[in-house]
Amino acid sequence: MGVREKVAARVVGRERELDLLLAAVAAGRDVLLEGPPGTSKSTILAAITAEWDVPLVFVEGNADLTPTRLVGHHSPARVLREDYSADTFVPGPLLDAMRSGGFLYVEEFNRAPEDTLNTLLTAMAERRIAVPRVGTVEAMPSFRVVATMNPYDTIGTTRLSTSVSDRLCRLAVGYQDAAAERAIVAVRTDLEQPQLIADAVALTRATREHEAIRQGSSVRGAIDLALVVDRLARLRGDTDPYADLVLDGMLLALSGRIHLDEVVEATPENVLRSIWESYFVLDPARAEPG
Ligand SMILES: Nc1ncnc2c1ncn2[C@@H]1O[C@H](COP(=O)(O)OP(=O)(O)OP(=O)(O)O)[C@@H](O)[C@H]1O
Ligand SMILES: [Mg+2]
């Protein structure tokens, strides 16, 4: 089996995205993955690095990710005792990834401060970095930078400057179709209840279509919804109708995951109830689990 087939075995669907990302990293490129939460970005990348057998080094892009945090720093206590040397240096994630030939995975790339992005750009362009009192650190050939960002994210983010975006390939990922999402929920929950899985996926997808919702839930919500309803059914025995269990499950699994439009007066609970009503009332047969 080639790398492509082995990677595909770990990921449901996403053939095109896998091909494109594999082509980009095989060509030695650094990549920006852009898509909403829960759209397989980490899953695809973890599958690729596992097959390449290189480390995947995570960093969260936020205001605290200073160049020092990214590159590393000299331990003040040790410097006091033994003066500066390469040994007193505590490497940060960028150096770890460069030295080990790993992929530096910068989540929420657009939240990192400008000077941190510039440090990254230098490492990407030159494949080496000069560290004070340590020397020049060369990147192993498999070192890559893979950045992610959520296009709907507006709080605390800066738009990428053109000098940054001009240096990256960009792969946009969206939500998968219903069949793929059902397959993901089946794999992640181990539930052998096709109707429950189908309902969890359909109701979760409906949160992405609803006019009052700015950003709906990803497949993570469907995974939790299916697991919670399964447990609830066991706790409550046969006393509650199936559709009622699903409503309670939706409030628990989805209410914190949907983000309403600012102008909307409704609550997440009301919006979820209306989604639930149109799903079960328009097709009463659904209220009888298969
Ligand atoms: N194509 C897929 N195949 C198998 N599992 C998947 C797939 N897509 C998503 N999942 C599952 O859904 C969940 C979310 O996926 P993942 O962590 O890859 O999303 P992400 O795009 O990295 O999200 P975020 O932007 O929030 O970090 C995980 O539990 C993952 O296992
Ligand atoms: Mg992720």
| pLDDT single digits (tens) 223-244 | 999 999 999 999 997 788 999 9
Instruction: Give yes or no for residue 285 having a pLDDT over 60.
Output: yes
Ligand 1 proximity of 220 Cβ (cutoff 6 Å):
yes
Ligand 1 atom 8, closest CA: 40
Q: Where are the domains of the chain?
A: 3-172, 178-287
Q: What is the pTM of this model?
A: 0.90
pLDDT in tens, 20-46: 999 999 999 999 999 999 999 999 999
Segment 58-82 shows an average pLDDT of 91
User: What spacing in Å lies between the alpha carbon of 108 and ligand 2's midpoint?
Assistant: 9
pLDDT of residue 153: 66
- CATH architecture under which domain 178-287 falls: Orthogonal Bundle (1.10)
Query: What CATH number labels 3-172?
Result: 3.40.50.300
pLDDT of residue 102: 97
Confidence of residue 290 (pLDDT cuts 50, 70, 90): low
Average pLDDT over the chain reads 91
Helices then strands, each counted (H, E), the chain: 13, 11
Kindly give, in sequence order, each residue whose CB lies less than 8 Å from that of residue 179, ignoring residues fewer than 6 positions away: none
262 or 204, which is more confident? 204
How many angstroms separate the CA atoms of 272 and 98, rounded? 46
Helices (H), 127-267: 162-165, 178-189, 194-206, 219-236, 242-254
Neighbours of 190 (CB within 10 A): 7
Beta partners for residue 147, in sequence order: 32, 106
pLDDT in tens, 137-162: 999 999 999 999 988 766 656 677 78
Segment 59-82 shows an average pLDDT of 91
Instruction: Give yes or no for residue 172 having a pLDDT over 90.
Output: yes
User: What spacing in Å lies between the alpha carbon of 13 and ligand 1's midpoint?
Assistant: 12
Q: Exposed, middle or buried: residue 209 (CB in 10 Å: 0-12, 13-18, 19+)?
A: exposed
Ligand 1 proximity of 153 Cβ (cutoff 6 Å):
no
HSE at residue 222, side-chain half, CA atoms within 13 A, is 34
